[in-house]
Structure 1
Amino acid sequence: MGIPDIFDTLDAQLPWQRDLYRDLHRHPELSLQEHRTAERIETELTGIGYTVQRIGGTGVVGVLENGPGATVLSRADIDALPVTEDTGLDYSSENDGVMHACGHDVHITCLLGAARLLAGHRDAWSGTHIALFQPAEETAAGARAMVDDGLLSKVPRPDVAFGQHVMTTEAGTIGTTAGPVLSAGDSLKITVYGRGAHGSMPHNSVDPVVLAASIVLRLQTIVSREIEPGKFAVVTIGASNAGTKSNIIPDRAELLLNLRTYDEAIRTHIMESIERIVRGECTTAGSPREPEFEYYDQFPLTDNDAATNARITEAFTGHFGAGRVAHTAPYTASEDFSRIPDAFGIPYTYWTVGSVPADKLRRAEASGTVAQDIPANHSPFFAPAIDPTLETGTRTQAVAALAYLAG
């Protein structure tokens, strides 16, 4: 399938994109508080002819209808993180304690850039393009909020959906894969109960600190002894909280867990095993109350449709050349993007775009200092290279859309 050349105006619009990116980076906003960001997106989309509406609070959706054909949904997330920036950039965050430390400002800029290219070259394609800007990805709340606010009835039903993420791979390169590309993620708060007592009289207590410690150790056996070797699963205990003073045995303890899986059956098994182990340890300890389980910040699996991924990979290879498109291994990070195409019941694919200059990455690889010298997403030092990252991400969004709209 040939992709028409709509990129003759890209060089001319890149200065606008660079300025837009720096503006977004200076003014990051936390999840579901992206008011200024949403207003800027609305202004840009309206100015190029998209029909724009708010969905899900700070979510923005633009629709550009251009005759008969397929309907493509392209998504970018827009929220920032509660991180204090330490990059030293001259366009660093001006919002104290808030930073675009995950590259969502790149995602916004690239999708707006692709929308501008499509709007300016309507003779090159036919169909409908939906540019969806989703809030609150970092808290797993944004996609659900848009669906709950009637997204499915407020926009044309797409035939396919796309998402992308900037990563600390080589700038100018793209990574694609079929099947799982991002893990399902679940956070879990467990509260176990004991009986408080004076620290000098442990015989009067049911000690929840000892109980929690036993649970922490026992949970380590889920992955090591219950999951088939070679299958991916992570069970992390990120916090264990109990007590206020050295000579007081408290009456409860809290554990905070994080789970990552690529397989729904394994995900279910891990949750059931956690609850079984916790209940068993509580019974053994003589806990006076049943434990409590609170699941939150739950991210779905991002599982790329094989046929869609193959079509997009072919389009990327044809446009960029085989040397810039590579198969990527699944990441253990998580996303809520897939809730949107899953709600529509449509296929999707999600790819990665590199952001680290090749020479910098090669030096770090050669010296074995990648972890120290290449700050990853969510780091206060995270700073994607503007060029060629913005151009690459803009092209990927446009090429993917044209793979369905230019037929």
Structure 2
Amino acid sequence: MDRLVATGTKLDEPFRPLMEGAPVQRTTIIGLGLLALLGCTPATAADLSTTIASMTEPAQGAYTFLHEHPELGKKEFKAQTYLEDALKQFGFTEFIASTEAPTAVIAILDSGRPGPTIALRAEMDARPLERNAVEPTSHMPRSQIDGLMHNCGHDIHASILLGTAGILIANKERFSGKIVFLFQPAEETPGGADDIVHEKILERLGVKAIFAEHVAPGMPIGTIGIAPDFALAGSNYFHLKIKGRGSHAAAPNEGSDTPLVAARMAIELSEYPARHLDIANKPVVISVTQFLADGNAGNVIPADADVSGTIRSFENISLGENGEPSLEQKLDLLVSRMASEAGVNYDWAVRPGAPATRNDPALFEQIIAPLGRTWPGMLDTHPGRGMFSEDFSYYTGVMPALYFSIGVSKDGRGLAGVHTKEFDAHPDIFAHGLRLMTTLAVIGTAGKMDWQ
């Protein structure tokens, strides 16, 4: 497919303050703790503060472009062009192509001095909105593509990572080793992180640790959250096709009454964890997300129905323990029993999604103390797990990794949940996101951690 090039967009404009040394319009100042980590003198400290402050508005400019031009997974052609062009303007010359994830943007920053190689990752893809849904007209910027929206924050993550790249290449004399900037496609669909991992790109580059952030609605601006071990659940997707006998609506006894059968099965599947599993110690959430029983007429009871949804768990649902059947086997038996009692045939399939996301405990211990000394807001390290899932988990399965939550809520903004059309974030997120990712890069390339 030919790459689509964004027209009418001056990519150099958002970055002109950094390139030309124009006066800084915002006052985002990096903390003295981070300057100490860099070993900066007072003179160089002012330069670094200016660089970081000058990147806040360019990051917002990148966000505006990405938000207005949302693209689905593996179709992020405009985003790819925008990010590559911006990185080249910063001075990046080394890029790695991905065969399996061709819209990925992977840029290398080499300090020229011995040191560890780390990766900073952000996603690029948007999501389809629900049928007939549109982004609120009050949002600014607002999606220009009907039916598509960046309502999971990937445009924010990519913009912050782009700004971080600009900061670090302007200050690369202060670092050792290499930094890999990974702009990853297709987080919302199969074939994003799993393709990157399968292709062994990071392994070939010698990456020893990887870091990422994700916006957290409802968490105040200035707060970041991180805890060791499992943070996000793994996902699995099920589809149940019920095959019965149709009938006239006036004579349900002559058919299978399939819609009611499907409804009962959907309820039993959703309620199964609470009544049959130890969810206090091993949480499981089964959610029905699609239900279709269409008779194409108000007086027809259809013969067939479809029920689909997700199974969220921190454990592998295909593996049993202590001789017990696995959760997948238990659900197979449940569906079989329900279908037999209703007198219908069925097709039942479970497809694995992303595994659970795990923050490496050793890397957490090495990073958290210096991060705590430099972060000016709240650093929440209380243990906590969420039933959301993320394909960042594929990286956590092959190398030490940390996945941070970062607050986006302030002044009534940043409260709506991800994957809703109301999702937004307070603009102060860019200053804090740049600070977080820059700090992680500084700490991660300091050469004081043993990640072998």
Give the TM-score, by structure 1 length.
Answer: 0.87
2: CA distance between counterparts of 1:3 and 1:141? 37
Higher helix share: 1
AA partner of residue 355 (structure 2): P
AA partner of residue 405 (structure 2): T
Q: 1:64 offset after TM fit, Å? A: 1.7
- Equivalent residue pairs, number: 388
- Identity across aligned pairs (percent)? 27
2: CA distance between counterparts of 1:46 and 1:267? 47
AA partner of residue 355 (structure 1): V
AA partner of residue 239 (structure 1): Q
Deviations 1:326-372 (A, max 9, x none): 12532222110121342xx2111100111112x548xxxxxxxxxxx
2:209 is the counterpart of 1:160? yes
Counterpart in the other structure of 1:260: 312
Contact 1:278 1:291 in 2 (8 A): no
Distance 1:267 1:171, change over 3 A: farther
Counterpart in the other structure of 1:123: 173
3-state SS in 1 of match to 2:149: coil
2:375 is the counterpart of 1:320? yes
1: CA distance between counterparts of 2:71 and 2:226? 29
Counterpart in the other structure of 2:21: none
Counterpart in the other structure of 1:349: 402
2: CA distance between counterparts of 1:312 and 1:87? 41
Contact 1:304 1:349 in 2 (8 A): yes
Deviations 1:181-237 (A, max 9, x none): 222122211112223344555555344334323323432442122211513211112
Q: 1:115 offset after TM fit, Å? A: 1.5
Q: 1:22 offset after TM fit, Å? A: 1.7
3-state SS in 2 of match to 1:3: helix
2:97 is the counterpart of 1:82? no
AA partner of residue 278 (structure 1): V
What are the equivalent positions in structure 2 for 1:217-366 lying under 5 Å apart?
217-231=267-281, 232-244=283-295, 245-264=297-316, 269-287=326-344, 289-295=345-351, 298-321=353-376, 323-327=377-381, 329-342=384-397, 345-357=398-410, 359-360=411-412
Deviations 1:44-72 (A, max 9, x none): 22332241133202111111222221110
2:62 is the counterpart of 1:20? yes
1: CA distance between counterparts of 2:148 and 2:229? 33
Deviations 1:264-292 (A, max 9, x none): 359874322221111112223333x4523
Distance 1:325 1:50, change over 3 A: farther
Distance 1:13 1:197, change over 3 A: closer
Distance 1:378 1:87, change over 3 A: farther
Give the TM-score, by structure 2 length.
Answer: 0.79
Contact 2:126 2:150 in 1 (8 A): yes
2: CA distance between counterparts of 1:216 and 1:94? 37
Distance 1:405 1:50, change over 3 A: farther
Distance 1:19 1:290, change over 3 A: closer
The one of 74, 88, 99 aligned to 1:32: 74
What are the equivalent positions in structure 2 for 1:55-204 lying under 5 Å apart?
55=98, 56-66=101-111, 67-83=113-129, 84-86=134-136, 88-149=138-199, 151-152=201-202, 155-168=204-217, 169-199=219-249, 202=252, 204=254
AA partner of residue 289 (structure 2): G
AA partner of residue 116 (structure 1): G
**Alpha-carbon RMSD:** 2.5
Contact 2:357 2:396 in 1 (8 A): no
